[in-house]
Amino acid sequence: MIELQSVNKWYSPTFQVLKNCSLTVGKGEVVVVCGPSGSGKSTLIKCINALEAVSDGRILVAGAEVTTPKADLPALRARVGMVFQSFELFSHMTILENLCIGQEKVLGRSREAAIAKANQLLERVGIAGQAGKYPGQLSGGQQQRVAIARALAMDPVAMLFDEPTSALDPEMINEVLDVMVSLAQEGMTMVVVTHEMGFARKVADRIVFMDGGEIVESATSETFFAAPQTDRARAFLSKILPH
Ligand SMILES: Nc1ncnc2c1ncn2[C@@H]1O[C@H](COP(=O)(O)OP(=O)(O)OP(=O)(O)O)[C@@H](O)[C@H]1O
């Protein structure tokens, strides 16, 4: 479904942020990417929907190459939904409009079909009844669920999450994680950058550990948590897991 082949990226001639990263994410697989701050996790997933360009290497999504000048980026970004730490909703549009605009402009859906889909998804993420409000009138947890619903409205083949709960107050984290858990259980292909190791244990098929721009480990969550293979992963886990 998603394939990274020897991806390298330099932000400047002296700073290589991604070093020979290769990764295959199968259909329906949930991969959690973790690692220390600055290790390149956000950059890696942004490359998957071409929000960042790779310097060399290839990325394929559902058989189509992302890393070619010929890539159809609007179509790619509809197929691969992305949810950011900072929600990135359109603040001047109602929740309903946030969910409809991409469906109408990119997918060419009729107004009626877009509204029906939006309402169905708002119901699914537990915020039916808020459709007429503006993002600023909702809590952070509600805004993030809107962002997930907006991505799902495009019928994506995969979803990318970049620290989706990092900006939320603790009591709102679970309401967002619950939506992500149900998506995972329904078979959505997902790549999730997160420090929520409880989520990782519960739904990740695989954990990818990054450090210094490299994919240092890629293992099932059982193996990764019980028997990390490298000192770097052990040091990371000892900092973030309760003792
Ligand atoms: N546009 C950019 N130009 C130059 N350097 C950048 C840019 N974006 C990120 N970086 C640097 O690249 C490195 C990796 O950043 P990235 O955000 O991918 O890491 P991360 O592992 O997601 O970190 P965090 O967990 O703190 O979000 C960092 O040192 C960051 O400062």
Distance (angstroms) between ligand 1 centre and the Cα of 18 equals 10
Distance (angstroms) between ligand 1 centre and the Cα of 10 equals 11
9-32 average pLDDT score: 97
Q: How far apart are CA 67 and CA 223, in angstroms?
A: 32
* Local confidence band at 243 (pLDDT 50, 70, 90 cut-offs): low
Residue matched to tokens 């149900």: 182
Atom from ligand 1 closest to the CA of residue 162: 22
232-236 average pLDDT score: 94
Burial of 18 (0-12, 13-18, 19+ CB in 10 A): buried
Residue matched to tokens 């998603």: 2
Q: Per residue in 107-120, pLDDT tens?
A: 999 999 999 999 99
Q: Per residue in 144-187, pLDDT tens?
A: 999 999 999 999 999 999 999 999 998 899 999 999 999 999 99
Among 21-35, 73-87, 179-193, the range scoring the smallest mean pLDDT is: 73-87
Largest CA distance in the chain: 55
Which of 8, 10, 11 most suits a substitution to test ligand 1, by most atoms within 8 Å of the C-beta? 11
- Asked if this assembly's ipTM is beyond 0.90, the reply is yes
User: Cβ(32)–Cβ(194) under 8 Å?
Assistant: yes
Instruction: Using alpha carbons, select from 51, 55, 47, 71 the residue that is nearest to residue 11.
Output: 55
Query: For the chain, what is the mean pLDDT?
Result: 94
Specify the residue with its C-alpha closest to ligand 1, atom 2: 11
* Local confidence band at 222 (pLDDT 50, 70, 90 cut-offs): very high
Q: What is the pTM of this model?
A: 0.95
| Percentage above 90 pLDDT, the chain | 89
| Confidence (pLDDT) at 179 | 95
* Local confidence band at 90 (pLDDT 50, 70, 90 cut-offs): very high
Atom from ligand 1 closest to the CA of residue 163: 27
